[in-house]
Amino acid sequence: MASSIGLSRFLETETPALSLALDPFNVDALIAEITSDLNDTKNASDLDSSLDRARGALAFNLADARLYSLIGEIKYRQGEKDGAYALFDQARKLSKTEIHALQRSITRAVETADLSKAVGEIDILLRRWPDQFSAVADALPAILSDPDGYQAVLTAIRAEAPWRARLFATLSKTPEGLDFANRLLLDLLGSTAPPKPSELSTVISGYILQKKYEPAYRLFLFSLSDQERKLGGYIFNGTFEPLASGRPFDWQLRDQSGLEVTFATSQHAVEGEGGATVRFLNTPVKGIALEQYVALPPGSYKISLTASARNLKLPKDLFWSIRCVDPAGEIARFNIPEGTYNRQKLSRDFSVGPAACPLQLLRLQTAAIAESWRFRYVGTLIMHQLSIERVPS
């Protein structure tokens, strides 16, 4: 008998029918089997038979919230919605986090426009069952479109709801969701739970993917702290202060072999030379080291770099490029010279034409197209300041 019960427990998830054959009183196996029947889209469930079996199990398991929820679901599918919701409520009294009763309660709250309640129950669901976010995601537009629902969501994320990051990630996938995400982030500014850099990055990147460049840049500007605003300009943080937030329109540092990039203030840098230090490790270097989105309106500009170098050997060009993101194409580039020098000033004029190019990408990159050991980069480059300024046409 003991071995049959043990084997039944072992099989209850994968093969509930066999598990029940070994132990007819295994309620977990019964719930798994009936749930599987209800979820079978190819074969219609025998609802009356499932109801009788669930009620029979309830006689021996009066405190099992899952059975009340299961009976409620069968009643719901039989069209007895009032009775079904009474059973879901009973399940919730026995277990506040019974997953199916919670999901049905959320659906009902949305349907009856009791959106504050819906958000409260979503919070309960996702705290206990964090993998269920996709199950409630479709309800978000209706909830956020309603003033009470929006305020309830804002209150929850101000209280650091653990599903906060998933909310912004989900909203950032659609144009409608981006507008809600943007509004939530702006309402969080100055609160006790301000926007996190990762949330801002997610939403700004979402705007860029949707080709909504103006609101992307505007959100970046609105999100800057007082300290960060001092670093503003056509290039953000052109002195390479070690304050990188990871947001688009801030420096993006790629993790790649063959070089090391560090940011330092003049007070903490080697020999007092602040800026971005690029150390090449005597290996091939292919691709991009550093980049930042910029938003330059049509006009004439000058890009300038103040840089120092120590024994810098560049077998292929190392250069800054400015590229139009949409449509893709290079606008300008200027090369960084080899050798050893101190605070050399480099500059180049360029223009952004009147044709649509609302977003550009500024990149430091090499011209190497293959990682050949014949082309090894050596030495150190220190970039003290990089700037773009508008000049008369």
Q: Model confidence over 208-253: pLDDT tens digits?
A: 999 999 999 999 999 998 889 999 999 999 999 998 778 899 999 8
> In this model, does residue 5 exceed pLDDT 50?
no
Least confident of 190-194, 292-296, 352-356: 352-356
Report the percent of the chain where pLDDT is more than 70: 83
What pLDDT digit, counting tens, does each position of 46-104 carry?
776 666 676 766 666 677 778 878 777 878 888 788 878 888 888 788 888 888 888 88
The yes-or-no verdict on residue 25 having pLDDT over 60 is no
The domain locations on the chain are: 2-227, 252-391
Q: Where are the beta strands (DSSP E) in the chain?
A: 252-253, 259-264, 275-283, 288-294, 299-313, 318-324, 329-335, 339-352, 360-366, 377-391
**pLDDT at site 33:** 67
Distance CA 48, CA 6 (A): 30
The yes-or-no verdict on residue 278 having pLDDT over 60 is yes
Q: Provide the β-strand partners of residue 361.
A: 293, 323
How do residues 113-158 score in pLDDT, each as one tens digit?
Answer: 999 999 999 999 999 989 999 999 999 999 999 999 999 999 999 9
Rounded to the nearest 10 degrees, how much is the dihedral formed by the CA atoms of 299, 253, 242, 157?
Answer: 90
What is the fold, at CATH topology level, of the domain defined by 252-391? Jelly Rolls (2.60.120)
Res 49: pLDDT: 66
What is the structure's pLDDT at 215?
95
Look up the CATH number of domain 2-227: 1.25.40
Both tokens assigned to 275: 């800026």
Q: Is the pLDDT of residue 273 over 60?
A: yes
The pLDDT assigned to 59 comes to: 67
pLDDT over 60 at 26, yes or no: no
Least confident among 7-16, 174-183, 196-205, 222-231: 7-16
**pLDDT of the residue at 221:** 94
Comparing 208 with 392, which gets the higher pLDDT? 208
84, 125, 120, 74: which is closest to 102 by C-alpha? 125
Share of the chain above pLDDT 90, in %: 53
**Which pLDDT score, from 0 to 100, does residue 8 have?**
35
What is the pLDDT of the chain when averaged over all its residues?
84
Task: Return the pLDDT at 381.
Answer: 95
Model pLDDT, residue 39? 66
CB proximity list for 122: less than 8 A, separation 6 or greater: 106, 136, 139, 163
| 339, pLDDT greater than 90 | yes
Tell me the average pLDDT across 31-59: 66
The pLDDT value recorded for residue 11 is 37
Least confident of 189-193, 340-344, 382-386: 189-193
* Same CATH fold assignment for domains 2-227 and 252-391: no
